[in-house]
Every structure is written in C-alpha cells, then in structure tokens.
Amino acid sequence: MAGSYNYYKMFGCFNRKFKMTAIGPPTDVTEAFNVYSDGGTQLTSDQLLRFLVEYQGEKDCTIMDAEELLQHVLNQRHHLVKYTRHSLDIEDFFFFLFHDEINAPIGAQVHHDMTAPLQHYFIYTGHNSYLTGNQLSSDCSDIPIINALERGVRGIELDLWPNSTKDDVQVLHGRTLTTPVRLDKCFQSIKQHAFIKSPYPVIVTLEDHLNPSLRAKVAEMAIRIFGELLYYPEPGCFHEFPSPEELKHHIILSTKPPKEYLESKNDKDSASSVKKDMAIEELCNKNDTQPENNEDQATGDNDANKFQLTASAYKHLIAIHADKPKDGLRRTLIVGVDKVRRLSLSEQELERAAELYGADIVRFTQKNLVRVYPKGTRVTSSNFRPLTGWMVGAQMVAFNMQGYGRSLWLMHGMFRANGGCGYVKKPKFLMKKAPNEVFDPKAKLPVKTTLKVKVYMGDGWRLDFSHTHFDAYSPPDFYTKVRIVGVPADIANNRTRVIEDDWTPSWDEEFEFPLTVPELALLQIVVQEYDLSEKDDFGGQTCLPVTELRPGIRAVPLHDKKGIKYKSVKLLMRFQFV
C-alpha cells in the first residue's frame, strides 16, 4: 500500500487535470446574431429567415421553414422545460449553427436531373463486393454487400465459380484462399437491401467463370430471387442506355456474353423471347403440380425444358454487355458500334490511356460505360486515386469498399453528392461532343471561382474518445488539414496551427482555394493530434464535393478511418464562393 502511495506521489506531477473549456460562439457567430437581431438579445423567426436567405444563401427558405426551425431548436435545447417564447437567444443560435442535422454542409435531397442516359452519371461502384478483408485469404460473405448497399453503392461485383463438384455456383475470388459464399445468399441480400438507401438501379457485374449448365442455373436463380426487380431489355442489349429514373427499383445484370450465345445471334424474335422468359417462372414451380404416377418422367422432361429455356434466357438477362479491349485499347475506344456497352479497364490501363489518349476515353464515355478496377497487386484491398477515372469520364470507378484510406475517403466524398443516391451527374463539359471541345484535365484554364474556407472550432472528442486516447497526461493538441483534390491545377494543401491542451480547439483561420474546375473538386478535411515524438494521431476526417457546399456557417460532422460518422465529433466552418 505504501509502495502504491509513493508511486502516485512520485508521478503525480505528470497526471494533469483534464479540464473542459467552456464552449462559446466564435466572433463571427456573435456578430451575425447582432446584425440580424438588430442589436437585440433575441432573434425572431422573421429575423432568422433573413439570416438564412442572406447569410446562409438558402434562397428558397420560407417563413414557415424559419418558424419550424426555430421551434425545433427550442425543443431540442429546452425539452425538459415548458417553453413559450418564440425567439432564439445567442446560445440557441449557436446551438443551431453547430448542429449538423439541421445545419449540414451539404443537402440531403436528390437534386440532379435523373432523366439523362446512364452514361451521363458517375456511379458508386464496388470491386469484389463479397470480400470481408484482403484479396487473398479473407472470408467471402454477403455482409460487405449489405454494408455497401446501405451506404448507397449502386455497383456490386460478384465473381462466379463452380463448386468442387461442378454442380453448383459459388462466389469467391478465384485462385486464392478466400472462402466461398453461396450465390443465392448474395442474391437474396442484394434483393433485400438494394433500395434501402437509394431507389436508383443497382448494377450487378458478374465475373463469369462457369459452364453453360451452371449459367442456366444462375439465370434461373436470378429470375426466381429477384422477380419483378430484375430488368432486361429486348432483345437483350441496349442500343441507348435508359436513365436512372427509368430504371428505378430495378436490378441490372452486366457481364460479358458467353461465347456460346455470341455464336447464336439469329434469335431476333423478341416476342418469343418474352414468352420463354415468362415460361421460366412457371417451370420453376411446376414440379409440385405433376401427377404422382408420372413424377419421374415429368421431372426429367421439366428439367430439360427448364434448362433449355433458362439457358436461352441467360443472354436476355444481360442488360449491360461487358467487353475488354481486343484489338488494342485505342482502336476499341474509337471504333463505333450500334449497341452501347461497358468496357472494363485496370487502373494501369486507365492511367496509361488517360495520359496518351484521354480525349478518346472522354468521347467513348459520352455513349458507353467504362468500369475501372484496382490492379491485382493491391492484395490488402487498398485503392487507387479515383480522380484519374472521373477526369476522363469513367462512370464506374470500382473500389474495395471493405478497405479504408484516403482514396476511399475521396470516393465517400464524391458520392455524398446528390443526396447520397449513388448517381452523380457528370459535368456538362465531359458530355460535349464537338470535336474541338473535348475536356482535357491537364489544360490551363482560367479560375472559375474561389472557395474561401474558414475553420472556427471543433468539439465532440471528449464524448467519442476516452480522456487518455490521445495523451495519457494532458488534453489533446489538435490541428486541421484542409485540402482540395481535383484536376492538377486545383490541388492545394493547407493546415491550421496546433491548439495545445484543449478538447474544444478554436482556430479561427481562413484559407482560399482558386478553382479552375470546381465541378470535379473535393474538399478534404482531416483533424490530427500533434505528437512530438511519434506519428500524429488521427482525430477524424470528411470529404465534401465542392459544388454541393452550402454557403455560410455550417456544422461539419467528422468520420472515422472507415468512413463511419462519429456520434459527436464535428467542426464549425464557413464556406464562401467569391
């Protein structure tokens, strides 16, 4: 006991108190309150409306919106008190501004035009969507698929392989030690979770390593499980992609048409195809209705008929035909075809093509889809820089969603746009078809706008982290990195000073970012805790599409390394376009 006492006495000088600084509004918040309250101590709904329209840039806001917001703030702050006043004091006003659910930096509604053809959109796309970890030895599961869909991912990839007895289909990363998951389980999970986050179409890309018999089994399974959600056009391939609006609540299959079906393109009787497809469902359930004395023969005949019909239906289920460059990538890009398609490229192929003939890729993506996938050496499920694909119009930049890192943060940031629905309308300059107007991300362009970002303060770490998480003996020393990721001319990095020993750091620093292509710019924000002797500790991050930023003073929630939002950690910031 005496030893313990001496220990604490000896080291007590290092055990500093974790005092909590009282949180007060920044000067800009106080000044805005004074201006819009006309120098008073209360802000009425009329005055709040004027602040929202003039300062926050919410031009469509009405007096009813302001009144509802005011009452919401009062109810949130004073829910234990019978409250009758109908105005906000300075603390109420500060609470409102620092509350991300009612004062978020970007909107939560779908607002892009969703009626353009599919190739006009960047599509939230996953790679090897069934893997729980690395590319070589992790388990395969439907859980990562569910997680991706619930985040808003609209492109799911499944690798299809025969099982050991060659009589069933399983999903796994082929020629590795990954453990398989059943295809029907993956299909069921896709059906159940496809439209929880977004009503817009889910594209399931199939890496097909099957024989004709197992392909027939996949077709039967897809029809039986997906039912009316499954979409396929006549005669089995798009001549022009429909729009996300037309394809709402549909699951679309995309794969390379099998060789045996490419050799039989003379089946142009679309009405007959529809009859076949309708017959499949009847055949799937017909066994139970056969007379007992003819059961064996009926079952055999039924299986043969069902196989024939389902095998024929497989090609009609492939709504988006996939392809790989056959006679050289550039020739593939410039040779026109009647039917639109999806071209798959590795990240190395895309990088090389973007460097050598980026204009051809841009033109190709004005009619077709391009899917870019990580190189095979990314065995830890790391990711590449997605801007490389987006800058040349590639719609489906496929990512390992089970991983994490700065590249994945950019992916999360891009698809926070447009209400997080998984489809982001491409900038108009990527769709221009005039010969001399093809977008070149390396071209020197004039500054289109300047984004001013002010970092006021942060809060919430004391609630989401233990008091010794960052430093065992003192409060943390936070600083914030603010950077722009976009075309080469727009890339910029800034950071605040370090605020020592404070759980609620106040920086009050402003940065300016001249932007030549704001449509492709992402604002990346990372908070770190300074450590003199070791690597700085991570304190939260977020990434926001610049064109979606709402001007004014906003509460910016931060996320962990995997992109999961913290319950309390957030920054108070201001955004202005000048």
Q: What angle do CA 103, 104, 105 make, to 5 degrees?
A: 125
Question: Which of 34, 31, 44, 30 has the alpha carbon at shortest distance from 73?
Answer: 44
Pair 539, 525: CB distance under 8 Å? no
Choosing from 120, 173, 321, 412, which is the catalytic residue? 173
Pair 334, 367: CB distance under 8 Å? no
Distance CA 231, CA 247 (A): 8
SS (H, E, C) 250-264: CEEEEECCCHHHHCC
Residues 6+ apart with CB under 8 A from 564: none
Question: Which of 481, 478, 487 has the alpha carbon at shortest distance from 443?
Answer: 487
Distance CA 152, CA 543 (A): 16
Distance CA 123, CA 251 (A): 14
Phi then psi for 550, rounded to 5 degrees? -90, 125
Question: Which of 524, 503, 506 has the alpha carbon at shortest distance from 453?
Answer: 524
Distance CA 17, CA 14 (A): 9
By DSSP bridging, strand 369-373 and strand 396-399 are parallel
Choosing from 78, 79, 127, 559, which is the catalytic residue? 127
Tokens 């006492």 locate to: 5
Tell me 416's DSSP state: T
By DSSP bridging, strand 396-399 and strand 125-126 are parallel
Please say if 127 is a catalytic residue. Answer: yes
Distance CA 334, CA 436 (A): 16
SS (H, E, C) 430-443: HCCCCCCCCCCCCC
Furthest CA-CA distance within the chain: 94
- What the block records as the tokens of 533 is 């002797």
Please say if 412 is a catalytic residue. Answer: no
Distance CA 456, CA 571 (A): 7
Q: Distances from the Cα of 289 to the Cαs of 40, 77, 553, in angstroms?
A: 81, 64, 67
Burial of 396 (0-12, 13-18, 19+ CB in 10 A): buried
- What the block records as the tokens of 539 is 């304190």
Amino acid at 504: T
Distance CA 557, CA 545 (A): 14
Mind telling me the catalytic residues?
Answer: 127, 173
